[in-house]
Amino acid sequence: MINKNSIIDNVKTLFYALIIALIIRSLFIQPFYIPSSSMEPTLLVGDRLFVTKYSYGYSKHSFPFSPPILKKRIFFNDPKRGDVVVFKTPVDNRTDYIKRLIGLPGDKIQFIDSNLYINNSEIIKSRISKNDKIFCGNKTIDVYTFQENLPDGKSHITVYSKDFTFQNSDIFTVPEDHYFFLGDNRDCSKDSRFLTSVGYVNKDNLVGKAQFIFFSSDKTIGSLFTFWKWHKSIRYNRFLKKIK
């Protein structure tokens, strides 16, 4: 005979567990999956990472489905140039993107002969490899790999197609309370350079800061259903890797 009180207790336990999970996801830490190659080689398709929601304070986008419970961001902390950030795209305020923060409010960003300039100063990049291949969607492209050094002293790895498809741009002047983002895979990233699809990102659209990878698998080798290939598809060397 089914005990009615036992069923009620189990429902309560499940309800409380869901509430706790929702609070943790909204206020502290949230997992994300990388579906595209726009941040290679920093982030690979199949990486799963944790993003801290408290890093930049909270807005309505900190919560699932972005309910209109906060009119503006609270407990705001300024993001730092070079941070890898998850944000909601301004076009629909719904889609999650992850890119590297390059331009702060008031900055002037420009590409000249495929070189990045911030406030009229060229960002120095040192080539560390000229024979790499990187994913761009479903194809691979030949790239040069660079270490790029930002004005605030932070450095990171970027790749540029050997064809340097994005060579020159107008000057992007970052508005007040907005930020300018780029993908590390510079010739294969839809980011703030494309004003009609991403453009400048308002501080209220920031979701959180990417901190570290907790799991990674190569979907080109195996999937959830091809369990006999799991040992080959799992990238053990990326577990607990800090995102720089």
Q: Which domain holds residue 105?
A: 4-242
Q: How far apart are CA 63 and CA 20, in angstroms?
A: 13
Assess whether pLDDT exceeds 80 at residue 152.
yes
Residue 220 has pLDDT above 80, yes or no: no
pLDDT over threshold 70, residue 124:
yes
More confident residue, 138 or 159: 159
| CATH assignment at residue 150 | 2.10.109.10
Predicted confidence at residue 222, as pLDDT, reads 67
The Cα 149–Cα 169 span in angstroms is 20
Give the residue among 218, 212, 216 at the shortest CA–CA distance from 241.
Answer: 212
Task: Provide the annotated active-site residues.
Answer: 38, 99
- What's the average model confidence in pLDDT over 73-88? 97
Question: Which amino acid type is present at position 150?
Answer: L
pLDDT at 15: 79
Token pair 């579906």: residue: 35
What pLDDT is stored for residue 164 in this prediction? 84
Q: Are 29 and 51 in contact (CB under 8 A)?
A: yes
The 10s digit of each residue's pLDDT in 164-191 is 888 899 999 999 999 999 999 999 999 9
pTM of the model: 0.90
> Omega into 105 within 30° of 0, i.e. cis?
no
Residues 8-37 have pLDDT tens digits of 766 777 777 878 777 877 789 999 999 999
Q: Give me the phi and psi of 85, to 5 degrees please.
A: -125, 140
Tokens of 2: 């089914």
Q: How many domains does the chain have?
A: 1
Tell me which residue of 40, 19, 32, 182 sits closest to 95, measured CA to CA.
Answer: 32
Q: What pLDDT score was predicted for residue 175?
A: 98
